[in-house]
Amino acid sequence: MKEKNQKNFSALCGLEINQAEATATRCHMSLLDMFAFPFIQRALIAGVLVSLCAALLGVPLVLKRYSMIGDGLSHVSFGALAMAVALGFTPLYFSIPVVVAAAFLLLRVADSPRWNSDAAIAVVSASSLALGVLVISKTSGMTTDVDNYMFGSVLAMSKADVALSVVLCAAVLTLFLLFYHRIFAVTFDESFSRATGMRVERYNALLAILTALTIVLGMRMMGAMLISSLVIFPALTAMRIFRSFRGVTLCAAVTSVACFCVGLTVSFAWSTPVGATVVTVNLALFLLACGASALRRR
């Protein structure tokens, strides 16, 4: 894995090769030195912000039973990314509109009584995955690209990604600060909210757009197969521990950011892929929370 990482490093970030090699051979370095690398700085900033957004958006998504939408969107973003690279577009500019459109589609499917919604989402997921793999195999071939898209790479975050994640995070935080009570009401009971004159569709659409953006931004670092867990795990963990909506929301945000930081550090120290490491840290915390809530109930 270390060798492969090194190869990725040299392939992907010209100037940082020397630093990357230094990473591979580090023996006298302390963990704090990892922040000297620009790519780690970018990964840290973007990762923390994306984790925060994912956790906040994840709470209403999980509670509304829309978790599968998050998963479906990450598969769609894989397909979109593969197409963007094949067609020579800037990945973000191409992926964002495609994934936002998919988010609207999946939301409609999930709410429509005429559709078998989880089957429909599974079909969309598998199809976009298949199309993505086909496109890649016909263009650049099944190389490290596929591996990187599927399972993420710590080197993937560019300066533009960092800037976009700052904007996204500002948008998500503003949404939650201004509309916290409305988000709660819509999440808890759509029918009641509608009857009291709230425009429920607007909130759902806004949630879908922001989730789509979060997933597109996060997927190249975390990996298309793994990014949806960033949306789902923190909310699940927080629901084990807290009983109020406010508690769950705050706890999910803190948990998610903490897990990302721990995951990034561990992945650096042991040269493991960052996406998988972060998800494993999330899983560990979730299991701990399950244990704690089981103990408390006894």
Partner 1 sequence: MEHTDLIVCRDLSLGYEGHSVLSGLNLRVRSGDYLCVVGDNGSGKSTLLRGLLGLLPPLSGTIQRAAELERGAVGYLPQQTKAQRDFPATVEEVVLSGCLNQKGLRFFYTAAQRSRALMNLGKLGVLELRGKSYRDLSGGQQQRVLLARALCAASRLLILDEPVTGLDPAAAQDLYKTLNYLNRKEGMAVVMVTHDLHPALRDAGTVLHIGHGGTFLGTPAEYLASPYGRRFKEAGSFLERKEPKEL
Residues near partner 1 (CB under 8 A): 63-65, 177-178, 180-182, 184-185, 188-189, 191-198, 238-239, 242-248
Closest CB 286 distance from partner 1, rounded Å: 15
The CB-of-194 to partner 1 minimum distance in angstroms stands at 6
Least Å from the CB of residue 45 to partner 1:
27
Buried-state track 111-134, b at ≥16 Cβ within 10 A, e below 16: eeeeeebeebbeebbeebbebbbe
The answer to whether the beta carbons of residues 89 and 80 sit under 8 Å apart is no
Least separation in angstroms between CB 61 and partner 1: 11
Angle at which helices 38-63 and 67-87 cross, to 10°: 140
> Which two tokens mark 60?
């209403």
Closer of 159 and 246 to partner 1 (Cβ): 246
CB atoms within 10 A of CB 163: 12
Which residue's CB is nearer to partner 1, number 21 or number 189? 189
d(C-alpha 245, C-alpha 77), whole Å? 30
Round to whole Å and give the CA distance between 147 and 17: 20
The identity of residue 182, as a single letter, is R
Comparison of 67 and 267: residue with beta carbon closer to partner 1: 67
Residue 178 tokens read as 């201004």
Q: What is the DSSP string of 220-268?
A: HHH-TTTHHHHHHHHHHHHHHH--SHHHHHHHHHHHHHHHHHHHHHHHH
Query: Rounded to an integer, what distance in angstroms lies between the CA atom of residue 51 and that of residue 56?
Result: 9
Nearer to partner 1, 30 or 196 (CB): 196
Nearest C-alpha neighbor of 175 from the set 204, 218, 217, 196: 204
Shortest Cβ distance from residue 242 to partner 1 (Å)? 6
Residue number with CB closer to partner 1 (151 or 242): 242
> Would you say 245 or 268 has its CB closer to partner 1?
245
In angstroms, what is the minimal distance from the CB of 250 to partner 1?
A: 12
Q: Between 97 and 247, whose beta carbon lies closer to partner 1?
A: 247
Nearer to partner 1, 20 or 59 (CB): 59
Q: How far is the CB of 193 from partner 1 (least distance, A)?
A: 8
Q: Closest Cα partner for 49 from 270, 264, 289, 285? A: 264
Tokens of 22: 């230094």
State in angstroms the smallest separation of the CB of 184 from partner 1.
6
CA distance 90 to 87: 9
